[in-house]
Chains A and B, each alone.
Chain A
Amino acid sequence: MLSAINQKIDIVVGGINNIQKSIIELNIEVRKIPEATKKIVLEHYNLELTDGLAGLLKSYSEVRAAAETNSDILDDIKIVERLKFISNETNKTRATLSVSPVAMTPETLFAIPTTLFLEIATLSHLQFPTSYIIQVLSSYREWITRCISGEIGSIPSQRAAAIEIHQKTIDNYSSSRVGQLLGIANYPFSETDTDRKSRATDLCFGFSHSVADQITDTYDKLIESLTFAANFLGGTLLERSSHFGIKFEQSLNAFQYSYDRGILSMTVARNKSLEGFGPFKQTTICTWKKAGFTDDIDKAVAYAETIAEYQDLEKQSQQLSADVDLLNLLRARIEICKKSAQIAYDTLAQVETQLIALGAN
């Protein structure tokens, strides 16, 4: 009877196992739904914006090209009708976008000047009343001002949120073991510390003053294990260095982190006398990475992997690897916010100039 029960339990446990696997996979998929939906909505509006606007720009550039050779065509009724169509459609695009969920995103803000200048150009060609053009310019001024107002969803709030997540993530690492080993920490700066403060706003933050290479806590358990591993190979552990860095990425105009998952590099001085080559000789024989290990190094790594702290560091290292990708994305987003805010201020200055020239106060 127990054999039968055992078999049934095997079946049941197998079933539970499969269900558990499915639940985990489904949970991952379910968690992705809100993000995916948001992305689809944003893409819809962006498509509406870019595709619609691209078509209008094409039509307008054709009218312009024709008028370059003969400016009289601007009085032609058909051309006037075409300009009216472009003007109306641009107006509709603005009306949709300015109240849409993407009204204040950096992506939209980059398209606002195109929409604005196209609409004002067509209204000017059509000799609309200046009072109406003033109203249109005022609407754009209101929209752009909202984008940089600091209200929830505006560019400054998006930038602040990204910076906060970045800062918190780095702060968490400054108190973790792997963060301490790699020297990851936010620059501490005071209100009067303008130098560091400017570095922080330039997104250079993310490092403490101490460099990982300079850490010499010889009683560290990991170092003990690595030293043991080195001795096991007939040598001595000489140095270790970090694989965590930062560099300026030209295409993104932002500093980006780099991390290659190797926590430490291990340089071992091998005692060559064991091989009959005379006295002690220093040789770098490996870096703390899995690729390209010799048999001896495999043994050393296998030993180190049995140390609990190494296992914990491995886990933290995997997390850091994923976090570096997130941090780099945040840095790029912060830069986008910065760029779009600049666009907003430039466009506002342009709008103000035109408003005053048209007689607005």
Chain B
Amino acid sequence: MPGGPKPEVIKFLEDLGDLIGYLFPVVADSILKSKFETDLEKLLPSLTEDASWTGAGTLLYVPMGQDPGTSALFYGGIRVYGTGSTPSNIIGVYLSEPQISPPNPIWFSEEKSFYVWLDPKNKKVGIIEYPFSKIVLLDGLAIANDKLLAKAVKAHDEFAQYLNAVEVLAIKAEESSLKLEIQAAHKVLKDTAAKIDAINAELATNLEKERKISSFLQKIKILGALVSVGQLALEFASQFPDSEIPGMFDGDAILLENEINSYKQEIGDKIIYMKGELSVYQKLSAQEAIKLKTQFSLKNAPKQIQHFDGYSGEKTD
């Protein structure tokens, strides 16, 4: 975003010899000087060719290290950052793409590291040292991250559209799953309804038996009356020993009474069975209610829902 370095950022020298002499002035640096010179000589042909094509400046970076104890310098090789109008722009382009760089030298020193600026148009060689090297680097870093940010925003927007498509799939999957659960729930209800129908049918049969028994009881009353009449007749007949009156009503009444008792027993059993069935349903309902209450409690459901007690049962006697 900001323009290139201010003119004073770059220290211009006459030629490469001056540059080397400026960078490595003392005898102690002769090994480093030699390494730098060799590396630069290897690079120069290709750099000159590139520069002649583009006419733009070339930026090199030389990372250096310094032993904090002995102040000895460590040379990290020459990195070619590329060509462009200004050092910052070149750094901006270089850092906006992943690069394979050798590691920095031991005890890397920001203060001792520097950039070399080759300007073919003006036939000048420049050096950018600390603190200007830091300014140029941060300007370049800002340019690089601005470029990367634009790409990232675009990618994020595209991803948001992709997520919308996935959300549609998620809703579809949830609906399908719910549909299955509802189908299963309906099946349970259908099975329960079938059980209820069976109980009702059994009850209807028992009611029919009760109706028959009532009818029998009516007959028994009539028969009882007839028996009384018969007894009177017997008593009456006893006064007439020569007469024969059959006592058939006594035997029939006993048979009927037995049958009635048997029916009563059967109905009683059925009622006990049905009460048992009801009790099972009530217990199941209470158990489900407890489970639900636990679930509600765990999920922090609203209080009024937590007060749900399930079906407590209705007394049937």
Task: Given A121-B145, A121-B149, answer yes or no on A356-B1 (Cβ-Cβ < 8 Å).
Answer: no
A329–B206 touching, CB < 8 Å: no
CA distance A215 to B245 in the complex (A): 89
Task: Given A27-B292, A332-B169, answer yes or no on A117-B101 (Cβ-Cβ < 8 Å).
Answer: no
**Which of chain A's residues has its CB closest to B181's CB?**
A28
Within 8 A of B (CB), among A317-356: 318-319, 321-322, 325-326, 328-329, 332-333, 336, 339, 343, 346, 349-350, 352-354, 356
* Main SS class of interface, A: helix
Residue A149 interfacial (CB < 8 Å) = no
Interface size class of A (residues with CB under 8 A): 35 or more
**Chain B hits for A2, CB < 8 A:** 203, 206-207, 210, 267, 271
Please tell me the number of chain B residues within 8 Å of chain A, measured between CB atoms. 84
**Which of chain B's residues has its CB closest to A252's CB?**
B165
Q: Which of B99, B204, B206 has the most CB of A within 10 A?
A: B99
Residue A118 interfacial (CB < 8 Å) = yes
**Which of chain A's residues has its CB closest to B317's CB?**
A5
**Chain A hits for B110, CB < 8 A:** 130, 359
**Number of residue pairs A-B, CB distance < 8 angstroms:** 219
A114–B152 touching, CB < 8 Å: yes
A325–B172 touching, CB < 8 Å: yes
* Main SS class of interface, B: helix
B27-56: CB near A (< 8 Å → 1, else 0) gives 000000000000000000000000000000
Can you list 27 A-B pairs with a CB-CB distance of less than 8 A?
Answer: A2-B271, A13-B196, A17-B193, A20-B188, A20-B189, A23-B285, A27-B295, A34-B299, A37-B299, A74-B2, A116-B152, A120-B141, A121-B141, A124-B142, A125-B138, A125-B142, A251-B165, A326-B177, A329-B166, A332-B165, A352-B98, A353-B95, A354-B144, A357-B94, A357-B95, A360-B108, A361-B104
Beyond A17-B192, A111-B156: 12 further Cβ-contacts under 8 Å?
A: A16-B192, A16-B285, A19-B310, A71-B2, A127-B138, A130-B134, A322-B176, A329-B169, A333-B166, A357-B95, A358-B141, A359-B108
Q: Which residues of B contact A (CB under 8 A)?
A: 1-3, 61, 63, 91, 94-95, 97-99, 101, 103-104, 108, 110, 113, 134-135, 137-139, 141-142, 144-146, 148-149, 152-153, 155-156, 159-160, 162-163, 165-166, 169-170, 172-173, 175-183, 185, 188-189, 192-193, 196, 199-200, 203-204, 206-207, 210, 267, 271, 274, 278, 281-282, 285, 288-289, 292, 295-296, 299, 301, 310-311, 313-314, 316
